[in-house]
Amino acid sequence: MPMIESLYIEQYNYQLPENRIASYPLKERDSSRLLFYNRGIIYDKCFNELPAIIPSGAMMVFNNTRVVPARLFFKKESGALIEILCLEPFIPKDYFLTFEATESVVWRVAIGNKKRWKRGKLFLYNPFKNKAIENLYLSAECLGEDKDTFLVRLSWSNSLTFSEVLELCGQMPIPPYLHRNQEIIDIERYQTIYAAFRGSVAAPTAGLHFSENTLSSLKKHNISLSEITLHVGAGTFMPVKENKIIHHHMHSEPFNVSLSFLESLQRHKGAVLSVGTTSTRCLESLYYFGLMCYLGQEPLFLSQWDVYNLKPELTSEESLEQIIAYLQKRHLTSFSAHTQLMIVPSFTFRWTNGIITNFHQPKSTLLMLIAAFIGDDWRKCYAHALQKGYRFLSYGDSSLLFPLH
């Protein structure tokens, strides 16, 4: 991986003033600004103009994951508050089963103020003496540490499902760079209007701009709308701390795509646009899972650097044929796996012709993905956005990117 060996995180840095980070969403979802980068040229648009810009006959791929109120606060007898952010289920591992569980679950979590919690059971912080919360007796018990995360058992004493417990007790995991607590507006707006399957602890923010009117207009312009499910992990917020990018440990995320989606993608002849970096990551992982099937390997997990060592032996369509055959042989109607794929410059995109995405943090894996897609012109786009007053990050403005080649 000689190209990756020469990548340093400082190459993906820029100055982002604090006042350019959008703290709140705009009143109307589709009223945000849209930076349209089309093969080297930049245009300033409004997001509600998107249907007129995208080529007729294109396929757009949306991530229909649903953000769960995964942030919980517990209190020690000393008064210290301990924050638990649920990252992914451990027992049971299946998302559906864990959200339907009653009495207890074990999750992999991040813990805020962990140094104040050495041992023992904690009970939920309930400052407003909510009777329904009191009757839950929701407790947390740390079972062990694994790298930067912990395994915690959450237990409660009535017949509510874990999904209902989170809805009652949890807060939306809005990004830490907003420097504020959850407010009422976040419950609705830190969620796409097409969110369906629970599991994310961060929103696929490119999708936050879509309104019912925009989706309806896209269909009228002969643009097909397809959905995949990739549950976004908190790793999307994690800064790259290593100087050399090859030393960064990328988080993995689970995804699910239907057999009918794979078949429609295989038949599609027009442009394919991913809505957000999560959809991009899922789409681009599919090629390599198809290659695994072709090589007789179980397509369960794609590690972050493997793709840069593999010699492609299939076309994109042939790789999908391999996954489709794998599913049909096992009488499955969907394909599920985990991807740790890290997209950096030198990556070859197999499916994505265009990306709709927000403006990302300096020195982030998301910014590196954009650099891989449009090359050094990412600097031109970000300089233009800063100069023209665009709003940045999760609640900020959007961009539509078509690469030079």
Residues 152 and 219 in one domain: no
The CATH number assigned to the domain holding 30 equals 3.40.1780.10
Residues 261 and 398 in one domain: yes
Examine the pLDDT at 268 and tell me if it is beyond 80.
Answer: yes
Examine the pLDDT at 2 and tell me if it is beyond 70.
Answer: no
Residues 350 and 220 in one domain: yes
Q: Identify which has the larger pLDDT, 356 or 5.
A: 356
- The whole-number pLDDT of residue 97 equals 95
Residues 154 and 302 in one domain: no
Q: Identify which has the larger pLDDT, 405 or 29.
A: 29
Q: Confirm whether 116 is domain-assigned.
A: yes
What's the whole-number average pLDDT of the chain?
Answer: 94
Secondary structure (H, E, C), the chain: CHHHHCCEHHHHCCCCCHHHECCCCCCCHHHCEEEEEECCEEEEEEHHHHHHHCCCCCEEEEECEEECCCEEEEECCCCCEEEEEEEEEEECCCHHHHHHCECEEEEEEEEECHHHCCCCEEEECCCCCCHHHHCCCCEEEEEEEECCEEEEEEECCCCCEHHHHHHHHCECCCCHHHCCCCCHHHHHHCCCCCCCEEEECCCCHHHHHCCHHHHHHHHHCCCEEEEEEECCCHHHHCCCCCCEHHHCCCCCEEEEEEHHHHHHHHHCCCCEEEECHHHHHHHHHHHHHHHHHHCCCCCCEECCCHHHCCCCCCCHHHHHHHHHHHHHHCCCCEEEEEECCCCCCCCCCCCCCEEEEECCCCCCHHHHHHHHHHCCHHHHHHHHHHHCCCCECCCCCEEEEECCC
Q: What's this model's pTM, rounded to 2 decimal places?
A: 0.94
Q: How far apart are CA 361 and CA 363, in angstroms?
A: 6
Identify the band that residue 77 occupies on the pLDDT scale cut at 50, 70 and 90. confident
Examine the pLDDT at 371 and tell me if it is beyond 80.
Answer: yes
Examine the pLDDT at 53 and tell me if it is beyond 80.
Answer: yes
Residues 43 and 157 in one domain: no
Render pLDDT for 153-206 as a digit per residue (tens, 0 to 9): 999 998 899 999 999 999 999 998 999 999 999 999 999 999 999 999 999 999
Residues 200 and 157 in one domain: no
Of the ranges 73-82, 205-214, 229-238, which one carries the lowest mean pLDDT score? 229-238
Q: Confirm whether 63 is domain-assigned.
A: yes
Q: Confirm whether 258 is domain-assigned.
A: yes
Examine the pLDDT at 30 and tell me if it is beyond 90.
Answer: yes
Name the residue range of residue 224's domain: 2-67+190-402
Residues 53 and 117 in one domain: no
Residues 22 and 95 in one domain: no
The total number of structural domains that make up the chain: 2
Could you tell me which of 36, 37, 57 has the C-alpha nearest to residue 48?
Answer: 36
- The whole-number pLDDT of residue 306 equals 87
Of the ranges 170-184, 237-251, 386-400, which one carries the lowest mean pLDDT score? 237-251
Examine the pLDDT at 222 and tell me if it is beyond 90.
Answer: yes
Could you tell me which of 255, 262, 277, 289 has the C-alpha nearest to residue 352?
Answer: 277
- The whole-number pLDDT of residue 1 equals 63
Residues 26 and 112 in one domain: no
Q: Confirm whether 179 is domain-assigned.
A: no
Identify the band that residue 236 occupies on the pLDDT scale cut at 50, 70 and 90. confident
Q: Confirm whether 177 is domain-assigned.
A: no
- The whole-number pLDDT of residue 386 equals 98
Residues 213 and 163 in one domain: no
Can you tell me the mean pLDDT for 23-41?
Answer: 97
